[in-house]
Amino acid sequence: MTALRTHTVIDTPIGELTLVNTDGVLSGVYMAEHHPAPDCAGFGEQVTGGFDEAITQFDEYFAGRRTRFTVPIAPVGTPFQREVWEALMTIEYGTTRTYSEIALALGRPTAVRAVAAANARNPLCIIVPCHRVIGSSGKLTGYAGGLERKRFLLDQEARVLSSAEPDVAGDTHVPA
C-alpha cells in the first residue's frame, strides 16, 4: 500500500516552510533554498488542512512561547540517521552541541563525519533541532537553510531564555 502524502506551505520569520505529512503524521519540514534540496515531487498534493497542530506549534516557537515540539513525527532515514536525529532531540532549547559531542554521546567517537552527514539529511528541520549543532571551534557550520537562518534560530532561543523566569522549582518558563 502506498503512503498518502500531502503538504502545505507556511510563512515564518525565516521564510516559507514546507510541511509534509505521510499518512497524517509530520514527516518533513523544509526551508526555502533547502540544501540538499528535497524531492518536491514526493510531497504529495498541496492542501490547507491536516497541519493545524504543527502550524500552531511553529507559531508558538517563533513567538517565543514554545521550547519543545510535541507534534507526532515520522522521519524516514537509515537506522544510524534516526539514532542521530534522536540524539539531536535531547539538545536543550537555547544550547548547542558539537558534532563530536553527538558522536561521543552515541558511543561512536570516531563517527563525527557520519554524524554531520546524518545531521545534514534531517528531514524535520527545527523540530529535530539540527540548528543546535555547531563545529568544534564553536563556529556555525553548514545548515540546510543557510547560516543566516541558523544564526536567527539560535539568537531567538537565546533571547527567549534571557527573558524567561525560573519558577519555584527552578524550571524555566518562557513568558506568555
Band of the pLDDT at 1, cuts 50, 70, 90? low
CA distances (Å), 92 to each of 41, 119, 130, in order?
34, 16, 12
Q: Say how many domains are in the chain.
A: 2
Q: Is 175 among the domain residues?
A: no
Average pLDDT on 23-40 reads 86
Q: Is 49 among the domain residues?
A: yes
Question: Does one domain contain both 53 and 84?
Answer: no
Q: Which residues lie closer than 8 Å to 61 by C-beta, 6 or more apart?
A: 67, 69, 126
- CATH code at position 30: 3.30.160
* Active-site residue, 125 included: no
Residue 27: which domain range? 5-62
pTM score of the predicted model: 0.88
Residue matched to cell numbers 535531547: 90
Q: Is 144 among the domain residues?
A: yes
Band of the pLDDT at 42, cuts 50, 70, 90? confident
Question: Does one domain contain both 58 and 85?
Answer: no
Question: Does one domain contain both 98 and 152?
Answer: yes
Which of these is catalytic: 102, 130, 154, 160?
130
Phi first, then psi, for residue 111 (nearest 5°) are -95, 30
Q: Is the pLDDT of residue 56 over 70?
A: yes
Band of the pLDDT at 35, cuts 50, 70, 90? confident
Closest CA to 44 of 25, 77, 21, 72: 21
Q: Angle at CA 1, nearest 5°, toward 41 and 125?
A: 45
